[in-house]
Structure 1
Amino acid sequence: MANTVEWPVRLTLVEEDGTTTARAVLTTATTTFTGHGTARCSPEDRDIPEIGDEIAAGRALRDLAGQLLRVADEELEGVGAAPPRRQTRVAYGWTDAMA
């Protein structure tokens, strides 16, 4: 039997002095997640607010997605079905150049 759930997302954009900030709020049945994103117009670029909106909104939604995936990973781990851990790469050689 199919189950449909709807989670509304409210996205608020504020543009001021060449900087756009975005706030994405997702409300589930049990919790609320908030993602944030920012976009800045370079002084030498033309100020086109729609582009700043798109970048800031995309970053806020990406932040929100990351939060959801982290919570899901933690819940999977709690029931013994944890996803494989990512290995941290060790830098060899000229590590000062990577700093």
Structure 2
Amino acid sequence: MPTDKDDFSALYPCDFYTPAELLAPGQMYTVYEIARLLQGLEPDAEIDEGTEEILLDWAIPWVIVNADDLVVAEPRTDEEPGYYGLREDGGVADGADE
């Protein structure tokens, strides 16, 4: 059920980082690391599983919305997730951007 805005002590702008503000050029990140960065944490910060699930709820749509500014790399092994990084000139495999 909707809640009146007056029920909250403060309201904040719904601003998100751009990929260039969040990710370092030349680096690739898992969606788990991106989730931490979006919350101002270090990419390798220890968080509990429940918190990580909540953070992923924010990170996955962020990746989708910013897809035009990102590149993706397949996992190196079956045990690890994919990686995302800033799209830079020359950062996309030949033919992959067509």
| Bucket of the pairwise TM-score, normalised by the shorter protein | under 0.3
Normalised to the residue count of structure 1, the TM-score between the two structures is 0.26
Normalised to the residue count of structure 2, the TM-score between the two structures is 0.26
- Decide which structure has greater strand share: 1
Between structure 1 and structure 2, the one with the greater Rg is 1
- Structure with more contact order per residue of length (Cα contacts < 8 Å, sep ≥ 6): 2
